[in-house]
Structures are given as structure tokens and as C-alpha cells.
Chain A
Amino acid sequence: MEPGVSIESGSAIRVAVLPVGGPIPPACLRDYAALVARYARVDLASLRPSYSEHQKSPFAHQPWDTGCLRLKFVLGGCVPSPWEDFQSSRKVLAVVGICHLPSSPNLDRVAADFVDAARSYPSALANRCFAFCPTDAQLVEKKRDDIIMFPPSDQQSLELHMLTMIQDLSASLLMEFEKWVLRAESTGTILKTPLDSQSSLGSEEVIKAKKRRLGRAQKIIGDYCLLAGSPADANAHYATAIELARLTGDVFWHAGALEGSVCALVVDRMGESDPVLEDEVKFRYYTIIQLYRRATLQDNAQRVSPVSFELEAALKLARYLCRRQCAKEVSDLLMGAADGAKALIDASDRLILYIEIARLFGTLGYKRKAAFFSRQVAQLYLQQDNAYAAMSAMQVLTMTTTAYHVQSRRTSKRDHSLPKSVVSLFESQWSTIQMVVLREILMSSIRAADPLSSWSAAARLLRSFYPLITPAGQSGLASSLANSADRLPSGTRCADPCLPFIRLHSFPLHPSQREIVKRNPHKKDWWTGVGPSGPFIYTPFTKGGTSGSSKQEVNWIVGEPVQVMVELANPCSFDLVVESIYLSVHSGNFDAFPVSVNLPPNTSKLVLLSGIPTEVGQVSIPGCIVHCFGVITEHLFKEVDCLLLGASQGLVLSDPFRCCGSSKLKSVNFPCIAVVPPLPLLVANVVGGDGSILLYEGEIRDVLITLTNAGTVPVEEANVALSGKNQDSVISIAHSTWKSALPIKPGGEVTFAVTLRAWHLSLTDLEADGSRSPANSRRIAKEGSNPFLDIHYAGPSINSESNIVSLPPGRRLVVPLNICVVQGMRLVRARLLSMELPARFTDAHLRPASSKDHISNDSDVMHNDISLLKIDPYKGSWDLRLLELELFNPTDVVFDVDVSVHLDGTCVEQNFLSEDKAAGSACHKTRIDRDYSARVLIPLEHFKLPVLDTSFFVKENGSDELLGSRAATLAEKNAKAELNAAINSLISKIKVKWHSGRNSSGELNIKDAIQAALQASVMDILLPDPLTFSFRLTKDGNAVKTDSSKEAGDDSGRSADESVLRCKDPISANEMTHMEVQIRNNTKETIQMNLSISCKDVAGENCFDENSATVLWAGVLSDIYLEVPPLQEVAHPFSIYFLVPGDYSLQAASVIIDATDVLRARAKAESPDEPILCRGCPFHIHVVGTA
């Protein structure tokens, strides 16, 4: 069988093209052969010049105007076929030698070579030897007839030259045909085919052969007519031949002649598509096939079978009909031919048959059928044991890959950009056969020693079908990949990716990239309305806008490194070593940094790939470049995305990431990335470390923040603002400092201070922080509770050539002020103490804060160090009230505490008693060690209001009764406000400051606690008693010296009236002491009362008793009726004579007659009949004896 046969091939003159002389470089040979082969069709008209009619031409109907000769050039020649007598087109009728003269200098040698070569084609009727590129020396040699030189010239003239030569050759062939036909007609020839058995030439057969000879001769003459381009003549001869063959029962030749006649018919009507002609051809060919089949059956016993002619005929018809409309007929013919393959003895015949079938199916558009037969061809090739066959097999198999959807990306690159439906992007799931095909390609390419192809096949096999391959098979593939790579030069690229699977995981934006803010040229605050504002990450309004454009935009900056997170998966059972992986950038403005990764079996890994944009423009990153198994491949993200999509729809075998235990991830769109010109880049540093700033509750501290310009462009403008939570904890920002540093040059830096005050921990914080270990205290620094410094800054605007100022985007730097508030000093509780405990007081503790008597009081302290009074808290309203603040230090540092009471613009330092320390030490600061508590006592004596007013009680007791009256309500409101103001001022006067370590200081927030503590008895503290009593010494009835610490006109001094008073100068015994008791009415109404004065000695015995022997007295001391006008004082004089030295105390008490509601309320009387008793402070008298 011969490849490429068609109905018309009967009319082609076979010309062998043989390279002769010295070795010809392959490129030259190809060029020369192509030059020769250009002229496969030579018009008869053009032969005229070289044709000379020696005798009457046997081709009477030769169409000189329209006809042509067809030449079929066979490069390298061919083996003479045993059937060439049967079909003249099989004969090599001419030999053309091709000689490359530079490599064969000796022309004689060339000529001899050519003669030798031509000798193996005895059927050749004409020979020509073409010599190309002659050297000058060869050109000047004498012209030879046997070698036709083609002097070097341009292509066009070379072609013209060649055309002439081919025409010459054709003309001489034509003349030879004429000669041959004439001779054949006259003498006749003996024509034999392998069918005609040579050995057993019985007499019967001799007669038979004689009969048949004429018909056969007619058929051959017809063949030659056809070759000579005269179909009409051929037809006539064939008709005769058919007649004769039918008569003689020469079935085989009958078929041959019939085939020739169809060829003549088709050639004659070339170019016409006539249904009638087609039917005729079809009809005749079916007959031919029948005849051949009969011949085959007839000659079944023969050693050679003409079955190949039957198949060839089928193929010829199929090729003739090969159109979509006749698909069924063609495929029937071809399938019939394929069935006939079994009858073919010769393997190469079978090969040709399958090739032809595959080609025809391919032409028909039946890709899968073509692939099927191509694979058969490949298998036949693989049966031959040589590298060339293996190479052919590989190439044939490679052609089938498209049909089986396992094609290499290199071959499918063409339709890469074509939009495909989602499904067709996946491997069509004929996985078994896909694997078989790939394995065969791998096998054949290994045999053909093509390492790149085998690498590619193994890569495809492993990548697409790893779930179907056993671990051993996977390792085998891995080793064949490695083996192939060993044979490849390093740095080889392959279009087909192997492992690992790579998908885009995320875009971990560098904070500096995220914070690029488009500048609004119309606003001074160019950042507003662009960047995220407010504490909410999600706002329903911006959402609608962004969802419209599915691709977010990312800006990268020239020269600033960026990162892309990808996920690699190795679903196979061997260790995968990725020698390097980096982002593949087609836009060419990005430097990618390679990393190497090791992937253990069945694992996936997140890898951060980085790079630096180098030029302004768009960046497109379709995938990664991977250097793995010794070959560089490009892995596209899109492919893996499609694969994953297919896996989720159950269309592909498996999800490589899921089987590696990686979580499901929605596919990430690669955003639109634009590279922008360099921008300034500020880097913020909190001086003292970037860790959280540890502050105790209420602490105030300055934090220094350093801004450094790490970019290459100066910062021209900037703005610092606050955002986030707890903004009030930032007291001040030193704006002037950084403003003066503008513009910040590249590399420049500025440091400015931010004053912080730690906020107070809420209850939930405290609860969460319940276990008081230091490690836990960290937890207080919760996410999101910190304020941020929002720094917007921008570089200079660019003046482009056309005077248009373009604003490069600005940037935002967010400096989180990581404030970690830990609990500092804690106020455990505040409570009001009525003095029950013996307490030591010196005057210093109690002295009024007036500076003018400060010095005198100081001197008093020296000689008046009598303290430790026992005070009965149950005896009326004179007792001392103390506010006790219990402080606890839960931290692990020492705190110094400082309590101060601000009174009327002056500060009274209050020392306090610490349980743990030696009491009474007059230090101003007190240290509280860790895990210790301390109590601060604050006497609440300085807060009395001057007047006891009705209005204060309106609220207290009258809320029910007075609800009705409008006027009262108004008064009530005023009073309430006044009261509240009084309370607040009281509370705000008390301050607890603390220090810890070198630079921690703050203030304890105790307002609420104090308020709670004072809630019950705030009235008692604030309101004065209705009556205040004081004693004075008088000399001769005149008040000479003020004995009490009270000073008239000094408000602050008045408040001291209530405390224990002592006589400054000791009173001598046995001497009349004139005294007077002063009663002051603190109310706005006149008070009538019965006053009585009592005196007690240290034992508590009443000395004004009738039978007392210690004191004598003069004047009225009991039941004195007095009436004190409002806010006035009344004095009642009396005299005492002490008989016994010692300590005495005087006390005045009065029963108020007709007490008003106010007084009753103040005294907290329970029933209206209850007498209201008012008592003064005990007045201490030290009586010294007269020695």
C-alpha cells in the first residue's frame, strides 16, 4: 500500500528526487527539494517549446490548451513495487538528482554518482541531475550535458530556471510516453503481477495469459495516456481493456482498468462537483471494490494477496467523498477498510492503512475516531524496535492528545485566549484512556530519547491523574521526571506545569499599601471622604458601591516590596522539593524574589511570595514560575481555580487542596494592580519600644513618637488626628513639633510628644481581670480599645509638562497607641467614720488653713501636745467625722500616695494614718507596698456651711407633703441645685494623687466612692448645728482673751468650734476664774432655750453637783432662759473656782423651746413632742495647783 493515494493519483508521474554527490546540509536539501517540488503540475501548453513530435502522437485527444502533466516527486526515491506493471503510476518514471556543489567539488564524481543512483530505477524514462550553488571554478569548467548547473542568483530567477528545467523534463517524459505507447501498441508487452504465478505456468494458464494480454496492454496504454495528460485517450483504452478483461475473466485487471477509467473521468472533469459524476464515481468504485474482493477470494491460495488494492480503492473513494455530507458513507468505507487491516500481512501496509484512515477521519472532522486510529498507528510504530519509530509514535500520539484532552499547553497555546465554557476547561473525564495515552507518550518519548516530551508527559500525567495513580506509580513518575530533567540542559522551560498545585490565597497588604489615600484636590482635608472613616469597618452605604465592581484595586508603589500569599499543595506521596518559586509577571515591571519550598507528602503550605515593582503601570500576575523537578514551568492561578470549581461541581477527580487537609477557600480574584510612582513613606516608632504602653489607671504620661521618612520622596504636608476608641485618653499632641519639621526629607525624622492619661477600667474589665496575677493584667489591653493617631501625609505634587498639577495619592499612617491600662491603686472603699477609736490628734491636724495664724498655731503645737481624746460618738452632734479611704495596692510595684484637700484655693496637706506604718509619722507621702492596703483618714470638719437653712430640709423630709405646691417645688429645685453644688465642691476638694517608680504618676478617681460614702450623712457634714457653744475666759467681766480657737470673722476658724477645745493657758486652782459661754444661733430664726452648763472631772463626776467638793461656782448654771436672735451670739457669764487641780471639761447644753421643724429635722427627732437637746463641745480645762 502507498500513503496518500487518491483517485487522481493514477495520473501522476512519479519522479524520484535523489541527493547525489557530497553530503548536503539538511536545510539546503530541504530548500532544493522544495524548489523542485513547486512544479508538480506542468501545463501542456508550456511544453510546446521543448516538445518536438518525432512521429505521430498516439495521444490523439491530448488537450494541449487545458491539460497538464502531474508530477509526483518522491524525495529519496522508493523501493520498486512488485505491482508497478499493474499501475504505471507506481513506476518511477524519472529520476532527478540534487547536488550541492560546494560539498562536491568534483563534477565527474557527481555525474558518476548520479548514474549509479539512477541505475536502481530501471523504469525511469528520463534523468536529470540538478546542481546548485556552483563555485566559480565549477562554473568556468566546460559545460556538461549530464549536470544542469543552477548558478547562484535570486530566488525568482532560480525558480524560473527550475521551471524551465522541469518543463524540459516533462517534455522529454511526454515524448518517452509516446514512444512507449507506440511500441506497446505495435509489439505488445508481457505484463505480470505477483498474482500471476510464475512457477506453475501450466498450458491452460499460458493460453489464458495470452488471451488476457491484450486487455492488460490496453489498460497500461490507458495508464500512459493518463500520465501524458490525455484522459480522453485513456478512457478509450480503458473501455477496451474493461471489455477484454471482462471477457477473459481477468477480474483483477478488470478492476484496475475500471479504476483507471474513473481516474480519467475525474481528471477530465477536474474541479467540477457534479452529483451525477459523483454517483458515477461511487457506482464504479463500489464495483471496483467488489471486483478486487472477488480477485482476493479467487486468489486466496496465492502467497500474495491483492487485498491491499481493495483497501486502497476504499480509501480512494473515501477520500473522494470525504465531506461532512457523506460522513456516514465515508465512515462506513473507512470502518470497512479498518476491518480489512487484519487481512494485511505486511505490517507497514497496516501502518499506512491506519494512517490513511486516521487522516481521513480527521479531514471528516471526526477527531476522536482519528485519534483512535492514530493510536493504532502509534502502537504499530511501537512494535518496531527503533528510535525513529518511537519518535514517530510519539509524534502521532501527540497529535491525538487534543482529542483526548490531554494536550500539552504548548500546542494548545493558540486557543488560550478564546473564551471557553467552564466545563470544557476541565479534563474530559475519560480518565482511563487519558492516562493510557499519556503513559504511551511517556513510554515512546523515553524510547525516542526526547527528554522534554517525556518530562511534559509525566508532568501532565502526575498533575491530572495523581488520585488514580498508586503511590508507587507516583514515585515512579517522579523519578522519570528527574531522569528526564537530568538529560535536559539546566534552565529548560516546559509549557506543562507539574506539581505543586498553586492557588492564590490572599493579598497580605503591607500596611503602607493599604493606606494609600486618593487626594481630593478641592479640599484642604484631602483625605476626607476617601479613606475609611469612623470606627466602623462595615458601613452599609459603601458596600453597595464596591460590590458593583468585583475586582478591587490595589496600588503598588515603585520600589516598595509587596507580598502575595499563595498556597501550594502536594497531594502525592513523595517529598516535593520546589527549588524555586516566584511570581510570574508578564508586564515586565516587577522583580520577583524566588523562594524554595519543601513539601512533604500530602501537605499544603502557605508561602509568601514577594517582589518589587520597578516601573509605573499595570501589573498582571497570572501565576507563578516554578522550578521543580529540574524544569521551569509556569503555573497559572486560573487553571487551578477552574480545577477547584470543577471539583466543587463533581466534574473533576479531586481537589488537591482538600485532600491535603487545607480548608476550603473561595477563589480569590486577582485584583487590578496599578503601580504608582514613589510616595513618601513614614514609619512611626514609639520611643521606648513598640510594645504596649503600660499605664496604671489614671496615670498621665508623655509618649514620644518618632516619624521617619523611609521613602524616597519628601513629606510635604501632613495632618495628625485622633481616631478609635478612648480618644479622651490623649490629652494633647505636640502638633507644633512635627509641623515645624515639615518637609521631612527622605531619611529625616521628627519626634513629638503625645500626652496620655490612662482611662479607668470598667467593671467588666475588672471582673475579667479577677485573678490578680501579673500575667493576666496584660489582658486588659484589649483590641480595639486603643486610640489611634491618624497621620495623613503626602509628597509634593508633580508638575507635568502641560502645567497641570497632578496630585499623587497621599498616604495614611495609623499609629496605634497601644495603651495597656493596668489596675493601679485601688480604692477598696470609702466610708464615713464617726470617731469611735481613740485617735491622736495634734492641733496641727486640725488647724485652720489660714496662713496668718499659721505661725502662731505652730508655736501652739509645741506646748499643746495633748491628744488622744476619747470621744463619745453617742452624745449628740459634736463628734468628729472622718472620711476613711481604704486604698489597696494590687500591683507589684510600690505606690506613694498623696492626699490633699483643697480648701478655698489653698491646699491642706492631710497626713493620714496608715495601718501598716508607725502611726502619726508626719510624712506627706505614704508608701504602699505591693499587696498591702492603707487607710487614709480625712477629717470632714472644714466643710460646714455657715447657715442652717430651711431649704436644705425641704428635700429631705418634705418631698411628700410639698409636692403639691408649685412655689415650693421651685424653691426645692433651687435648694437641690445648691445642695448638689455644695456636695460636689466638697468632693472635688479631696484629691488622692499617687506616684510610682520614676515616671508614673496619676490621680485616683474617688468621686463616686466618696459620694456613696457620704450619701447617708452628707447633711451632718455640711450642715452646722443650730447652736454652737464656746467658752471664754473673761477678766473682770470683760472678754479679754479668746480662749477657744474660734476667731470672730474668720469663717474657716468657725468650723473648728465643733472640735474639742482646750484652754490655752492652764487655769490655776484656788482662784476665781471668770468665764462666759457664748451661744451662737446658726439659724435664721430666733431660738428660745433653756441653757445648762455642766463640768466634769476626769472621772466623769459632775462637779456642779451640790455635794461636790472640787469646784465652787458663781452664777446661774442651769435652766437659764435665753433667746438668741438669728445669726447672733449671746453670752452668759459665770465664774468657777477650782479646789483641786486636774483636768476638767465644761460642757454647755440647751433644751430648745418650741423647736421649729427645721431644728427637729436637724436633730432627727422622731416625735414632735420630743425635747430637742443641743450640746456643745466639751471645753477642756487644765487646772494647775498653786504650789
Chain B
Amino acid sequence: MASTACFVIVSKNGIPIYEAEVGSTPKKEDLAYQHQFILHAALDVVQDLAWTTNTIFMLLHDSRNEDGIKSFFQEVHELYIKIFLNPLYLPGSRITSSHFDTKVRALARKHL
């Protein structure tokens, strides 16, 4: 099943601190940035609706699997908290951990 999904974590300042193209559709350069454009534009509405938080998780998806998305978010949140607990991690800076990246992609494969 080919699906499109793009996951970003956006910091308080509207800066993406983690981006991942997690869909199973074959990659196209053009689409990748189209997804980012959409997510970027969506931030306006999301920030309006969301409570004041430090970070926003955004997933652009085309699957209807609500449960999967829910558990995906939950588990990614746990991963993010682990990153956040790292004393060397400066809140609001880019997440560069490859471990985190691998885990998120694995979660995406599992749940989405």
C-alpha cells in the first residue's frame, strides 16, 4: 500500500527541528518540498488550535488509520521526551540523533 506521510517536529518558534519523509511512496524531490510547504502553511491553523506548547508534532498523511496515527504520536512523543531529557540537548535546536530518526521511521512503518 503506497501512502504519503511527512512528519515534522516544529519548535515553539516555528522552526522545524526534525523532518522525516515517512511515506512508502517512492520519493520525488518535487513532492518532498510540496509536503513541507503544506505543513508550513498548516502551522498557522495548528498554532491557533494548539495549546501553548514547546513543540508541535505534525504528520501529513493520507491514510485513514486514526488508531495507528494516535499510537504513532504517542510513541514518538516518548522518544522525544528521551531526547529532551538529554542534558546536552539544547531545547529548540535541531534533533540530529540518528537513533531517533531510525526509531521514528520504524514507528512509521509499524503504525501508518
Interface residues of chain A, those whose CB is within 8 Å of chain B, are 327-328, 331, 361, 365-369, 371-372, 375, 404, 421, 423-424, 428-430, 432-433, 436, 649-651
Contacts and interface: CB of A to CB of B under 8 A. Distances in A.
B36 interface: yes
Contacts of A328: 45, 48-49
B3 interface: no
**Which secondary structure dominates chain B's binding surface?**
helix
A430 B36 CA distance: 8
B94 to A, nearest CB: 5
23 contacts: A331-B45, A365-B44, A366-B45, A368-B41, A368-B44, A369-B41, A369-B42, A372-B38, A375-B37, A404-B40, A423-B92, A428-B13, A430-B36, A430-B40, A432-B32, A432-B36, A433-B36, A433-B40, A650-B90, A650-B94, A650-B96, A651-B92, A651-B93
B13 A423 contact: yes
Interface in B17-75: 17, 32-33, 36-38, 40-45, 48-49
B14 A428 contact: yes
Contacts of B92: 423, 651
A436 B38 CA distance: 13
Residue picked from A328, A421, A424, A433, most chain B C-beta under 10 Å: A433
A368 B43 contact: yes
A290 to B, nearest CB: 25
A496 B33 CA distance: 25
Contacts of B32: 432
B48 A429 contact: no
B40 A424 contact: no
A468 to B, nearest CB: 12
B94 A430 contact: no
A372 B36 CA distance: 10
Contacts, number: 63
Contacts of A650: 90, 93-94, 96
B15 interface: yes
A429 B8 CA distance: 12
A67 B112 CA distance: 61
A429 B15 contact: yes
A428 B93 contact: no
A267 B90 CA distance: 56
B44 A436 contact: no
A640 B41 CA distance: 29
Given A327-B48, A331-B45, A369-B45, A428 B37 contact: no
A469 to B, nearest CB: 14
B37 A372 contact: yes
B90 A368 contact: no
B110 to A, nearest CB: 26
Contact of B93 (A367, A432, A649): A649
Nearest to A426: B15
A245 B71 CA distance: 52
A649 B15 CA distance: 14
A649 B90 contact: yes
Contacts of A404: 40
**Which secondary structure dominates chain A's binding surface?**
helix
A436 B33 contact: yes
B2 to A, nearest CB: 21
Contacts of A424: 13
A423 B13 CA distance: 8
Interface residues of B, number: 23
Nearest to A366: B44
Contacts of B44: 361, 365-369
Contact of B41 (A372, A421, A432): A372
Residue picked from A365, A369, A404, A430, most chain B C-beta under 10 Å: A430
Interface string B74-90: 00000000000000001
Contact of A368 (B17, B33, B40, B49): B40
A338 to B, nearest CB: 10
Contacts of A367: 44
B100 to A, nearest CB: 14
A1026 to B, nearest CB: 91
A649 to B, nearest CB: 6
A582 to B, nearest CB: 35
Given A328-B48, A423-B92, A650-B94, 13 more contacts: A328-B49, A368-B41, A369-B41, A404-B40, A428-B13, A428-B15, A429-B15, A430-B15, A430-B36, A430-B40, A433-B33, A650-B96, A651-B15
A362 to B, nearest CB: 11
A404 B37 CA distance: 10
A929 B11 CA distance: 83
B48 to A, nearest CB: 6
Contacts of A651: 15, 92-94
Question: Nearest 10 A-B pairs (CB), nearest first?
Answer: A372-B41, A366-B44, A650-B93, A368-B44, A429-B15, A369-B41, A432-B33, A369-B44, A433-B36, A368-B41
Contacts of B42: 368-369
Contacts of A433: 33, 36-37, 40
Nearest to B95: A650
B41 A423 contact: no
Residue picked from B38, B48, B49, B90, most chain A C-beta under 10 Å: B48
Contacts of A429: 15-17, 94
Contacts of A432: 32-33, 36
Residue picked from A328, A368, A424, A428, most chain B C-beta under 10 Å: A368
A325 to B, nearest CB: 11
B62 to A, nearest CB: 15
A331 B93 CA distance: 31
Nearest to B14: A428
B61 to A, nearest CB: 17
Contacts of B96: 650
A366 B40 CA distance: 11
Contacts of A368: 40-44
Contacts of B94: 429, 650-651
Nearest to B19: A432
Residue picked from A367, A372, A421, most chain B C-beta under 10 Å: A372
Nearest to A435: B33
A423 B17 CA distance: 13
A829 to B, nearest CB: 66
Contacts of A331: 45
B57 to A, nearest CB: 16
Contacts of A327: 45, 48
Nearest to B17: A429
A433 B36 CA distance: 7
B90 A423 contact: no
Nearest to A404: B40
B40 to A, nearest CB: 5
Residue picked from B33, B40, B43, most chain A C-beta under 10 Å: B40
Contacts of A369: 41-42, 44-45
A436 B96 CA distance: 23
A691 to B, nearest CB: 54
A372 B92 CA distance: 25
A761 to B, nearest CB: 54
Nearest to B90: A649
Nearest to A423: B13
Contacts of A371: 40-41
A757 B38 CA distance: 83
A688 B45 CA distance: 80
A375 B36 CA distance: 13
Contacts of B13: 421, 423-424, 428
A407 to B, nearest CB: 15
